[in-house]
């Protein structure tokens, strides 16, 4: 089955998000757990969650993907920022248990001059403080473009983070097509090679979600500017190979392209048209 969705606004609550997803032809969605720039999260309404689960059950919405605020930096050089990030992260994880069995994605962080190794140590320490044995949520490290001092553009860096985490069973990876292409993984010219390396370093089973975005910038530009599907440097043909690739086709795909809902609906229709064999 083709599992495809988009990043949508969380402002109306869970049931509203599920309805919005269905209205654009999606069978999953991504949302921010709180204001993307940080700040307090809205209280979760149990009635809203019950209605959400009813809609999901009736319409076949499967796993959903929550995204941490993109300002969250578990490996900042400032202890106060790290502490704020850890508190936000832990609070998000406890909120996620209201909708059990889903995915929580975050940007590993920027080491801001401390070096990759020191950054990775801070990230693993934070994960070891936040993860709980009984949680049902899988935490995903997002592959990054390597902008500035961002950690996570090399698969080996993500491997090192997972190696340092005690509760590895709760860890996975989210592959962002714009980020990996910007980060120097040639998913246009050598998709098989990139996925073989991913499998060798991380294990393809760790891959739990794919952010499907075109890129405004050329290969290995380390920029991270998303483009609409087919209008950027990755291009429609590469996306056709990506969504049909045997190693990827059963994973959930989430659009984070610069679009409003009607634009997402069009891209979902386009991708469904490129999909083969189901
Ligand atoms: Fe992201
Ligand atoms: Fe992304
Ligand atoms: Zn991005």
Ligand 3 midpoint to CA 178 (Å): 7
The reported pLDDT for the residue numbered 278 is 86
Structure tokens at 143: 């592959």
Q: Which residues surround ligand 1, an ion (CB under 5 A)?
A: 142
Query: Mean per-residue pLDDT for 158-172?
Result: 98
Q: How remote is the CA of residue 7 from the centroid of ligand 2, in Å?
A: 10
The yes-or-no verdict on residue 36 having pLDDT over 90 is no
pLDDT of residue 38: 75
Instruction: Please give the CATH topology (third level) of the domain spanning 4-274.
Output: TIM Barrel (3.20.20)
Res. 269: pLDDT tops 80: yes
Q: What is the pLDDT of residues 188-239, one digit of tens each?
A: 999 999 999 999 999 999 999 999 999 999 999 999 999 999 999 999 999 9
Query: 69: CA distance to ligand 3 center in Å?
Result: 12
Q: What is the mean pLDDT of residues 239-250?
A: 98
> Given a cut of 80, is residue 163 above it in pLDDT?
yes
Confidence of residue 167 (pLDDT cuts 50, 70, 90): very high
Mean local confidence (pLDDT), 102-112? 98
In the reported structure, the alpha carbon of residue 249 is separated from the centroid of ligand 1 by a whole-number distance in angstroms of 21
Nearest ligand to the CA of 224 is 3
- Where along the chain do its domains lie? 4-274
Is the sign of the CA dihedral 45, 46, 51, 53 positive or negative? positive
Q: Rounded to the nearest whole angstrom, what is the distance from the C-alpha of residue 210 to the centroid of ligand 2?
A: 8
Nearest ligand for residue 145 CA: 3
Q: How confident is the model at residue 245 (pLDDT cuts 50, 70, 90)?
A: very high
What is the average pLDDT across 21-26?
Answer: 98
For residue 126, is pLDDT > 90?
A: yes
pLDDT of residue 157: 98
Are the C-beta atoms of residues 227 and 178 closer than 8 Å to each other? yes
Q: How far is the CA of 107 from the centre of ligand 1 (A)?
A: 6
Q: What is the reported pLDDT for 83?
A: 97
Neighbours of 111 (CB within 10 A): 23
Ligand with the closest atom to the CA of 225:
3
Q: Average per-residue pLDDT in the chain?
A: 97
Cα(256) to centroid(ligand 2), Å: 7
Catalogue the active-site residues.
37, 67, 70, 107, 142, 176, 179, 211, 224, 226, 256
Please compute the mean of the pLDDT values over residues 115-124 and round it to a whole number.
Answer: 98
What gap in Å lies between CA 233 and CA 241, rounded to an integer? 15
**Amino acid 226: pLDDT:** 98
CA 211 / ligand 2 centre spacing (Å): 5
Is the predicted pLDDT of residue 40 greater than 90, yes or no? Answer: no
CB neighbour class for 236 (10 Å; exposed up to 12, middle 13-18, buried from 19): middle
Q: What is the pTM of this model?
A: 0.98
């Amino acid at each position: 089955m083709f599992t495809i969705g988009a990043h949508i606004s969380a402002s109306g609550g869970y049931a509203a998000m599920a309805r919005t997803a269905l209205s654009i032809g999606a069978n999953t969605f991504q949302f921010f757990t709180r204001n993307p720039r940080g700040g307090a999260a809205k209280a979760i309404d149990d009635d809203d969650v019950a209605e959400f689960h009813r809609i999901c059950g009736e319409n076949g919405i499967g796993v959903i993907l929550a995204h941490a605020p993109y300002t969250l930096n578990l490996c900042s050089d400032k202890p106060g920022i790290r502490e704020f990030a850890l508190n936000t992260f832990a609070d998000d994880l406890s909120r996620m248990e209201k909708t059990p069995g889903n995915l929580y994605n975050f940007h590993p962080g920027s080491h801001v001059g401390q070096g990759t190794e020191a950054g990775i140590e801070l990230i693993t320490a934070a994960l070891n403080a936040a993860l709980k044995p009984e949680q049902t949520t899988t935490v995903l490290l997002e592959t990054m473009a390597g902008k500035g001092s961002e950690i996570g553009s090399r698969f080996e860096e993500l491997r090192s983070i997972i190696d340092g985490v005690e509760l590895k069973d709760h860890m996975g990876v989210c592959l962002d097509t714009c980020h990996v292409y910007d980060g120097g993984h040639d998913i246009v010219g050598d998709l098989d090679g990139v996925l073989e390396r991913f499998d060798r370093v991380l294990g393809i089973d760790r891959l739990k979600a794919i952010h499907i975005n075109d890129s405004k910038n050329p290969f290995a530009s380390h920029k991270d500017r998303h483009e609409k599907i087919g209008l950027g440097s990755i291009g429609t043909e590469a996306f056709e190979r990506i969504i049909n690739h045997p190693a990827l086709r059963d994973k959930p795909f989430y659009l984070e392209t610069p679009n409003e809902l009607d634009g997402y609906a069009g891209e979902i229709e386009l991708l469904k048209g490129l999909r083969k064999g189901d």
